[in-house]
Amino acid sequence: MARTDNDSWEITESVGATALGVAASRAAETESENPLIRDPFARVFLDAAGDGVWNWFSAPKLPPELLESEPDLALQQKSMVNYMASRTAFFDSFFLDATTAGARQAVILAAGLDSRSWRLPWPDGTTVYELDQPRVLDFKAATLAEHGAQPACNRVAVPVYLRHDWPAALRQAGFDPGAPSAWSAEGLMPYLPAASQELLFERVQALTAIGSRVAVEALGPNFLDPEFRAKRRARMDRVRALLADTDPQREVPSTDELWYFEEREDVGDWFGRHGWDVTVTPSLELMAGYGRKAPEQAADQVPGNLFVAAQRTKA
Ligand SMILES: C[S@@+](CC[C@H](N)C(=O)[O-])C[C@H]1O[C@@H](n2cnc3c(N)ncnc32)[C@H](O)[C@@H]1O
């Protein structure tokens, strides 16, 4: 489904379904032999959403005809699950470190089916603001309430379109820009045009006190590389065609049609220029650090993203 300026979605469609894809990876990791992260709610979301293409992306049991035609697929999928597990662990540690250091406000931009409000041991008095599209947040809250789960913090849903005036909604929901806060943008950047990314950071800058922290999964240098892009597209088209053969009812969307391929300023440089101390960890390094080194033949199939963590030191 092509993007438009004010598009909106259910959890099972367009950008919404990508949140289910990430949940599928977290469910696969949680149910693996030696999980790096445990997200007991990921499977609950998948069960509530029903069968859909999201279940294919981390399916432990791929149809044999698919594996025959695309023998590397199992390794690719395992590498993606390892990538998502490492990414989840990175943002979990980020929030735990920030709240241990004293922040009592967390803001999760594009929260999707991130269940941190329910599963992390937040210190007493922490408020977690979750921003995403209204129907995504409604699905999440309704599914977990039905499951009997209670948030482990003061969770505040802020239904917004992140290209609109979300700071007003956040302040109205109780956020205090004068107190330190911790922010995450995980799995968001490719879904925003470059100008919206810039505006997003300007707004974060306007809402953060000194000492605040931010963590971003930033697009890596190969995101716009035409050769890399063509290879990824060809691989994806092959898998889509094979999946369509296996089940003609199923139309598999092409996720990169949801992305904005535009030049953007390097995220670490942006925060560095605006008075933040920055550390940047490339994805393969992050994964290796968590004991999830990507095998050589799958290394170029793992997103080449950069994990940026920053703390504001200057006004
Ligand atoms: C790939 S999912 C990532 C979800 C979550 N951060 C995670 O890692 O599990 C992308 C999320 O971004 C949200 N999103 C993307 N663009 C948005 C926008 N303009 N406004 C609100 N939400 C947006 C989608 O609804 C979806 O939940």
For residue 237, name the pLDDT band (cuts at 50, 70, 90).
Answer: confident
Distance CA 72, CA 297 (A): 9
Per-residue pLDDT tens digits for 78-122: 899 999 999 999 999 999 999 999 999 999 999 999 999 999 999
Does this model's pTM top 0.85? My answer is: yes
Per the structure block, which two tokens stand in for 6? 């004010």
**Per-residue model confidence as pLDDT tens digits over 9-35:** 778 877 778 898 899 999 999 999 999
What sign results for the dihedral spanned by CA atoms 210, 212, 218, 221? positive
User: Radius of gyration (Cα) for the chain, nearest Å?
Assistant: 19
CA dist., res. 215 & res. 310, Å (int): 6
Pocket test for ligand 1, best of 1, 188, 196 (most atoms within 8 A of CB): 188
Give percent of the chain with pLDDT exceeding 90. Answer: 67
Supply φ then ψ for residue 152, to 5 degrees. -100, 20
Tokens for 78? Answer: 């395992």
Give the separation between CA 44 and CA 50, rounded to whole angstroms.
10
3-class SS shares of the chain: helix, strand, coil, % to 5: 50, 15, 40
Atom of ligand 1 nearest to the CA of 185: 6
pLDDT tens for each residue of 124-137? 999 999 999 999 99
Q: For residues 208-235, give the mean pLDDT.
A: 92
Pseudo-torsion of CA 108, 114, 120, 123, nearest 10°? 20
- What is the distance between the alpha carbons of residues 197 and 96, in angstroms, rounded to a whole number? 25
Q: How far apart, in whole angstroms, are the C-alpha atoms of residue 141 and residue 150?
A: 10
Ligand 1 pocket test: pick from 132, 183, 184, 186 the residue with the most ligand atoms within 8 Å of its Cβ. 132
pLDDT per residue over 68-80, tens digit each?
777 777 888 889 9
